[in-house]
């Protein structure tokens, strides 16, 4: 069976060709776009399973593409490519709903590993675990991939949903940031611990009655985070 269709977006055709070669060698189907408007159109029409999206694009930059897709409710996983070097710049994409980022220049093998990790956590099978969990006004449907707060649908990205799933499956357990990276992202590079903080912040904004005084996702100082016990 053919693997996931991946949309690769970059105005540098050499980068697109290189990434395409590695992805196709691993069995993925690849389409390409070279500017933001074309990327947005293909993401809407071709319905890829994942988008590798450059930050700096002609016509419309990658951040705007990401923002529009998320505003439209499109939950396709997005890996952002960025040549910017400051931590703040790297985290902007995550704040807008991207699932991961890779800094240029990058190793094609590293990007391939990130693609595998993102797709693995999105499609992970549930096994014998509960298909739905309730905590107060929060309902998490693992089969339907939906989260509702007081009956209202929360628009979570695939990464935010996976992070919430890891925490809520074991309420009361304190997870370190590295553990969350490993279980929710599929890798445990120490340099990416800050990524977890950004996703937790975004998740709290979407599911907490008061994100400044969280009810569900608690900070465990000196450790990481845990989901509150009932």
Burial class (CB in 10 A: 0-12, 13-18, 19+), 87: exposed
The DSSP-derived string for 133-148 is EEETTEEEETTTTEEE
Domain boundaries, given as residue ranges, for the chain = 5-123, 132-227
Whether CATH 1.10.10.10 fits 132-227: yes
Q: What angle do CA 83, 184, 144 make, to 5 degrees?
A: 110
51 three-class SS: strand
Can you give the pLDDT of all 230 residues of the chain as single tens digits? 346 899 999 999 999 999 999 999 888 889 999 999 999 999 988 889 999 999 989 989 999 999 999 988 888 999 999 876 666 666 777 788 888 888 888 888 889 888 988 887 776 543 445 678 888 888 898 878 889 988 889 989 888 998 999 899 888 888 888 888 877 776 555 556 678 888 999 999 999 988 889 999 999 998 899 998 75
5-123: CATH topology: Rossmann fold (3.40.50)
Q: What angle do CA 115, 57, 85 make, to 5 degrees?
A: 70
């Amino acid at each position: 069976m053919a693997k996931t269709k991946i949309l690769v977006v970059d105005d540098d055709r050499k980068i697109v060709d290189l990434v395409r070669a590695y992805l196709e060698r691993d069995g993925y189907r690849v389409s390409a776009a070279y500017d933001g408007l074309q990327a947005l159109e293909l993401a809407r029409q071709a319905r890829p399973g994942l988008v590798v999206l450059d930050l700096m694009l002609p016509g419309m930059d990658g951040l705007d593409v990401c923002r529009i897709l998320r505003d439209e409710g499109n939950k396709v996983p997005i890996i952002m490519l960025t040549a910017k070097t400051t931590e703040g710049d790297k985290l902007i994409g995550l704040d807008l709903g991207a699932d991961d980022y890779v800094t240029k220049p990058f190793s094609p093998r590293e990007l391939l590993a990130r693609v595998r990790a993102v797709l693995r956590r999105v499609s992970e099978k549930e096994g014998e675990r509960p298909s739905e969990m309730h905590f107060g006004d929060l309902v998490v449907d693992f089969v339907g991939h939906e989260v509702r707060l007081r009956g209202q649908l929360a628009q979570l990205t695939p990464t935010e949903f996976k992070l919430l799933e890891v925490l809520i499956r074991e309420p009361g357990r304190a997870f370190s940031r590295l553990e969350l990276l490993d279980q929710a992202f599929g890798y445990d590079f120490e340099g990416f611990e800050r990524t977890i903080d950004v996703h937790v912040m975004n998740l709290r904004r979407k599911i907490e009655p008061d994100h400044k005084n969280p009810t569900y996702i608690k900070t465990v100082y000196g450790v990481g985070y845990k989901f509150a016990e009932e």
